[in-house]
Amino acid sequence: MTEINYLFLIPLLPLLGFLFNGLIGRNTSNKLVSLVGCLAPVASFAVALIGFQQLVGISTPSARILHQELYEWIGSGIFNIKFSLILDPLSVVMALIITGIGSLIHLYSTGYMHEDKSYARYFAYLNLFLFFMLVLVLADNLLLLFVGWEGVGLCSYLLIGFWFDDLDKAGAGRKAFIVNRIGDLGFFIGMALLFWLFKTLNFGEIRNAIAQNPAMIGAGTATAIGILLFIGAAGKSSQIPLYVWLPDAMAGPTPVSALIHAATMVTAGVYMVARMNCIYALSPVATGLVAFIGALTVFYAATISLAQNDIKKVLAYSTISQLGYMFVAVGVGAYAAGIFHLMTHAFFKALLFLGAGAVIHALAGEQDIRRMGGLREKLPVTYWTFFIGVMAIVGCPFLSGFFSKDEIIWYAYAGPHGHWLLWLLAVASAVLTMFYMMRLWFVAFTGEYRGSVDSGEPGANHLHPPSGWMKFALIILAAGSVLSGYVGIPHMWKSLAGVLGLQNLLGHNHFEKFLQPVFGTPLLSGRASMGAVPGAFVPTGLNNWSSMIITLNLLVVGLVMAWAIYFRRPEGDETFQKSLPGLWRLLQDKYRIDEVYGLIFVKPLIATGKFLDQRIDMGITAVTDFFGYCSYLFGRGFRSIQDGHMQTYIMAMTLGLIIFVLLMAII
Amino acid sequence: MPYEIPTIHVILLGATLFTIGMIGVLVRRNMLVILMGIELMLNGANVVFVGYARLLGDMGGHIWALSIMAVAACEIAIGLAVLVTLYRDRRTLDIDDWQLLKEKQVPKEPEFPG
């Protein structure tokens, strides 16, 4: 562990940006607001890069931890919490994603939001979000992580309800906040249990305690902690059953959806589960639950995505689905694969959302894919970058999503806690992903233009081309979507590397090796002959190559089906609608889960509230009102003697004196 | 031996003065007359102080009488100044016309709950 002194700058710079934009941004020009708002994350990214460079400069991987203690936050008996930050391989990956993609989205926002009247407030919230998110990933103990966790929840709420004069949007923000609180309760109880057991919340200390004496925490306790923490993660990362807030969160501005509800905040749950891998390693039940819920969510969200017509809703369900993949990975024990997919997903999903934002911006707020189409001539940059994003997310070979998703699918079967059922769900969902993304692509981007906004002369109703910074962000993210997979090419490619003469590039999985100090021995996904590391597991049965080939074949089937139904046929939904009308309606209504939750939870809660208000509370008020009325009556009795005639007062005084004297005389 | 006034006479005189003053304070409307009544009451008290001081041979009573006179002088100086100001303001010294501290309107009664 190396002590350094510049780590605090990473979260501090966005905080300064927030203070500037929040306090005086309103009274300055939009140019200054954009300058400060964008400079903060860019500078923070630069500091993170310096940290990364110093980190890889340390030759022993296990010593790759940079640490800075700022001050003792809570010191109370045995409960000592320090405000200290760490930069280890896991948090540096997260910090680079957050500040890097965050910077691009800030730059994009300068174009997207330029007409908004609350420009400074927008940048203030966005900077505040970055601050909390960086506190979350840089924290060296669970309580400080929780501060960031709640902080990003707050910013998410503020930004979903950014246009709060629309009551539906304000309600969406409230829904996100309340659903997250349910998850946070689980997280908090899990944290309390951890403290009760270990008398510390520091990650390193918990890890060492378990490493020294794995028997100190029983399987049952580990399961309880694991499940409770996962409830928190399910709330934040929108897994079943707490996923309902994320689709509604699309009410916020589109860059916010890209940053918070796709690339960074929603992955916090995955990060947290990966961070607590030492606990999950002790409980097969908890990890099994994480993987199972993840796999269920992948499939479930992908099916809903098939029938959505709002471009942002399709992407929202797709995000839930991709987050499910990450949970499958961390659930089966392939933590590095989960974080790898987190990173590649951050690139291509941010790209897809920003591309969707560019389309929405260009078409003056149109979000329905049925009224788009023919965007190739109108928005060429958006068209091609979005295409790259689609290719990356569906797992087109040699793009980033291919490597990360294929690794997860393989581990779903062959990981330490893998199961063929998980594999099946993961593969089926990959095919569904191919189908719904191609549907989105064919309907929204190709064919004839069907929109109402005309592309002719300028005016309120004309096509807005994306600004320079918007194009810049799209192009950089597209490059990232193509290239980011090459940092972690799975080991299986090693056998091919020799043939192609690319030993240094293929098959080394630098990413997994880099993360090894955090996650322990890498899982060698190669053939048994390559599993030379003692203790590494050796999968049997399905081979990783055959897994990939099966998946790719099925993906081609999905692509051909989507092509047949939707290519040059924006009305392709009718095919589905006619053949399976019931299922179609069910999917379009998102399985009516919101209505079910409304019936089971919301309505009884409102009824209870009404009962307590009108029966219990009013009854209590009546009792206190009675006493209030008594004191009024008492006071009214004395009012008549305060009549304002001074001589009455003197008379009362005199009579009192006389009575007093008489009493004295008698006694 | 010169004629000695019995103490009871002195006490009765003081009581009489005090009562006359008090009745004046209680029944008269004019503030000036009320102020005069207060002076009579103070002097009635003074007479009683002096009477008892003579009876008991204690100089304390005399001293009290003198201090009461001093206080009464101060009081009447301020009181008269207040009266002049009041008179200038409203051209009346009727005590019933000066009720500024009384609450103007009786507040609405709250309803009985339930």
Domain extents in chain A: 1-140, 593-666
Token digits of residue B47 = 């007479």
Question: Do the chains contact at B114 and A628, CB–CB below 8 Å?
Answer: no
Task: State how far residue B69 is from chain A, nearest Cα, in angstroms.
Answer: 22
Range scoring the smallest mean pLDDT among A63-77, A113-127, A363-377: A363-377
Tell me if A434 sits within 8 A of A559, measured CB to CB: yes
Provide the residue ranges of all domains of chain B, joining segments of one domain with +: 7-91
Which of the pair, B111 or A336, is modelled with greater confidence?
A: A336
Question: Do the chains contact at B95 and A644, CB–CB below 8 Å?
Answer: no
Residue in the structure block whose two tokens are 């520091």: A202
In this prediction, residue A223 carries a pLDDT of 93
Enumerate residues 6+ apart whose C-beta is below 8 A from A1.
A63, A65, A66, A67
Q: Which of B29, B38, B96 to mutate to test the interface with A (most CBs of A within 10 A)?
A: B96
Confidence at A218, pLDDT banded by 50, 70, 90: confident
Tell me if A21 sits within 8 A of A123, measured CB to CB: yes
Question: Do the chains contact at A644 and B99, CB–CB below 8 Å?
Answer: yes
Confidence at A576, pLDDT banded by 50, 70, 90: confident
Residue in the structure block whose two tokens are 């797709």: A318
Contact residues, chain B, for A629 at CB < 8 Å: 110, 112-113
Task: Quick: pLDDT tens for A104-158.
Answer: 999 999 999 988 889 999 999 999 999 999 999 999 999 999 999 999 999 999 9
Task: Quick: pLDDT tens for A472-502.
Answer: 999 999 999 999 888 887 766 666 666 665 6
Confidence at A536, pLDDT banded by 50, 70, 90: very low
Question: Do the chains contact at B106 and A639, CB–CB below 8 Å?
Answer: yes
Looking at residues A211-237, what average pLDDT do you find? 90
Contact residues, chain B, for A647 at CB < 8 Å: 25-27, 95
Instruction: Find, among A483, A451, A465, the residue nearest to A351 by Cα.
Output: A483
Question: Which residues on neighbouring strands pair with residue A238, listed in sequence order?
Answer: none
Residue in the structure block whose two tokens are 């400074």: A120
Which of the pair, A516 or A430, is modelled with greater confidence?
A: A430
Cα-based distances in Å from A75 to A81, A130, A368: 6, 27, 54
In this prediction, residue A219 carries a pLDDT of 84
Confidence at A455, pLDDT banded by 50, 70, 90: low
Q: Tell me which residue in B22, B98, B113 faces A625 most closely, judged by beta carbons.
A: B113
In this prediction, residue A506 carries a pLDDT of 59
Q: Tell me which residue in B101, B106, B114 faces A622 most closely, judged by beta carbons.
A: B114
Angle subtended at Cα A580 by Cα A576 and Cα A581, rounded to the nearest 5 degrees = 95
Confidence at A638, pLDDT banded by 50, 70, 90: confident
In this prediction, residue A505 carries a pLDDT of 58
Tell me if B101 sits within 8 A of A618, measured CB to CB: no
Contact residues, chain B, for A642 at CB < 8 Å: 102-103
Q: What is the mean pLDDT of chain A?
A: 87
Backbone φ and ψ for A366, nearest 5 degrees, come out as -70, 125
Confidence at A524, pLDDT banded by 50, 70, 90: very low
* CB < 8 Å from B in window 608-627 of A: 622, 625-626
Tell me if A465 sits within 8 A of A362, measured CB to CB: yes
Confidence at A525, pLDDT banded by 50, 70, 90: very low
Give the number of beta-carbon pairs within 8 Å between A and B.
Answer: 35
In this prediction, residue A151 carries a pLDDT of 95
Question: Do the chains contact at A629 and B96, CB–CB below 8 Å?
Answer: no
In this prediction, residue A119 carries a pLDDT of 92
Q: Which residue of B has its CA nearest to A647?
A: B26
Q: What is the 3-state secondary structure (H, E, C) of A518-550?
A: HHCCCCCCCCHHHCCCCCCCCCCCCCHHHHHHH
Instruction: Find, among A338, A358, A336, A357, the residue nearest to A346 by Cα.
Output: A338
Q: Which residue of A has its CA nearest to B107?
A: A636
Q: Would an 8 Å CB–CB cutoff place A117 in contact with chain B?
A: no
How many helices and strands, by DSSP H and E, does chain A display?
A: 29, 3
In this prediction, residue A461 carries a pLDDT of 54
Contact residues, chain B, for A658 at CB < 8 Å: none
Question: What CA–CA distance (Å, rounded) separates A311 from A359?
Answer: 10
Which residue ranges of chain B lie beneath pLDDT 50? none
Question: Do the chains contact at A647 and B25, CB–CB below 8 Å?
Answer: yes
Question: Do the chains contact at B26 and A642, CB–CB below 8 Å?
Answer: no
Question: What CA–CA distance (Å, rounded) separates A267 from A511?
Answer: 18
Q: What is the 3-state secondary structure (H, E, C) of A196-249?
A: HHHCCCEHHHHHHHHHHCHHHCCHHHHHHHHHHHHHHHHHHCCCCCCCCHHHHH
In this prediction, residue A502 carries a pLDDT of 60
Task: Quick: pLDDT tens for A184-201.
Answer: 999 999 999 999 999 999
How many helices and strands, by DSSP H and E, does chain B display?
A: 3, 0
Please give the class, per CATH, of domain B7-91.
mainly alpha
In this prediction, residue A149 carries a pLDDT of 95
Cα-based distances in Å from A507 to A496, A502, A512, A549, A568: 8, 9, 11, 17, 40
Q: Tell me which residue in A636, A645, A654 faces B96 most closely, judged by beta carbons.
A: A645
Range scoring the smallest mean pLDDT among A197-201, A293-297, A646-650: A646-650
Q: Tell me which residue in B22, B27, B102 faces A644 most closely, judged by beta carbons.
A: B102
Which three-class secondary structure state does DSSP give residue B43?
helix
In this prediction, residue A571 carries a pLDDT of 81
Question: Which residues on neighbouring strands pair with residue A462, listed in sequence order?
Answer: A454
| Strand ranges of the sheet holding A79-87, from the earlier edge strand across to the other edge | A2-3, A66-76, A79-87
Range scoring the smallest mean pLDDT among A204-213, A528-537, B97-106: A528-537
The amino acid that residue A596 corresponds to is V
Q: What is the 3-state secondary structure (H, E, C) of A391-404?
A: HHHHCCCCCHHHHH
- Helices A544-566 & A420-445, crossing angle to 10 degrees? 30
Which three-class secondary structure state does DSSP give residue A419?
coil
Looking at residues A78-100, what average pLDDT do you find? 93
Residue A528 has pLDDT above 50, yes or no: no
pTM across the whole model: 0.80
Looking at residues A415-426, what average pLDDT do you find? 87
